[in-house]
């Protein structure tokens, strides 16, 4: 056995070993890449799932490093509620009722998000949306009122579809108020939700109650009205006593 032959055999063995190592490394890299792709897919699925139950902005902030325990912010709250929906719900088959309500929520949510608002929660047939709660927005009041006007148009369009199906029309009332509140995740260890703590949301809900009294579908408080662009057409209404609010609150009907 010559030295050159031994060298050739050694070289061949070395090349074979390198090939095996390279194949193993490639197989391991492929396996890791697939695990990363699966993990990314799972994370995206979880993000989409959670964003169906809490505002997507909250999910994004939690992933990015969490939300502050509490932060004082100036926000505009929009509270919308269907008028006379409880009697209607008693006359309609449950599956159809849920379908009507889900289609309504889909349309209203789209009108809100298209105007830089975030749906905070659904309360029965009610909707609470926030403007300026997740990111600074000096035009939050204008955006909120434009969202309410877009919701009015969406509801009119939806009612035409319902009429074509022989179903009763829907009517809503919308109350809006601008004020300061504390934003943060609140709740128990088992369940938390993003909320604005303070009177801002309560005032918006109470103003929504006044829509029936004044026969107006969109009402804003004076605190919000004085921040709005002059192009909005507002009709002043008498100041009203609101439950839980010490002083009468001046309100305006939004006409266009």
Residue 51 confidence (pLDDT) above 60 = no
pLDDT of the residue at 144: 95
C-alpha to C-alpha distances, 111 to 37, 83, 117, 229, 252, nearest whole angstrom: 34, 19, 9, 19, 21
In the chain, % of residues over pLDDT 90: 29
Residue 221: helix, strand or coil by DSSP?
A: strand
Fold of 68-254: Alpha-Beta Plaits (3.30.70)
Residue 10 confidence (pLDDT) above 90 = no
* Count, residues in the chain: 256
* Boundaries of every domain in the chain: 1-50, 68-254
pLDDT of the residue at 58: 53
Of 153-162, 188-197, 215-224, give the range with the top mean pLDDT: 153-162
Tell me the pLDDT band of 196, cut-offs 50, 70 and 90.
confident
Residues 44-71 have a mean pLDDT of 53
Tell me the pLDDT band of 9, cut-offs 50, 70 and 90.
low
Residues 208-237 have a mean pLDDT of 88
d(CA 112, CA 13): 69
């Amino acid at each position: 056995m010559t030295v050159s032959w031994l060298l050739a055999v050694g070289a061949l063995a070395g090349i074979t070993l390198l090939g095996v190592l390279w194949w193993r490394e490639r197989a391991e890299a492929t396996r890791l890449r697939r695990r990363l792709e699966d993990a990314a897919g799972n994370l995206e699925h979880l993000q989409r799932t959670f964003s169906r139950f809490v505002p997507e902005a909250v999910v994004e902030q939690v992933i990015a490093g969490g939300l502050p325990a509490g932060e004082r912010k100036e926000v505009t709250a929009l509270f919308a509620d269907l008028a006379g929906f409880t009697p209607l719900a008693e006359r309609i088959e449950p599956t159809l009722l849920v379908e009507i309500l889900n289609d309504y929520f889909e349309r209203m949510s789209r009108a809100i998000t298209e105007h830089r608002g975030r749906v905070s929660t659904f309360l029965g047939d009610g909707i609470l949306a926030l403007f300026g709660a997740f990111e600074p927005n000096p035009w939050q009041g204008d955006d909120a009122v434009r969202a309410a006007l877009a919701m009015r148009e969406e509801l009119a369009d939806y009612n035409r579809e319902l009429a074509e199906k022989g179903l009763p029309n829907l009517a809503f009332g919308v109350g809006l108020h601008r004020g300061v509140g504390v934003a943060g995740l609140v709740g128990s260890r088992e369940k938390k939700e993003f909320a604005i703590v303070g009177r801002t949301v309560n005032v918006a809900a109470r103003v929504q109650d006044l829509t029936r009294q004044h026969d107006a579908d969109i009402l804003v408080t004076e605190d919000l009205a004085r921040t709005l662009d002059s192009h909005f057409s507002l009709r002043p209404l008498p100041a009203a006593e609101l439950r839980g609010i010490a002083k009468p609150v001046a309100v305006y009907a939004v006409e266009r």
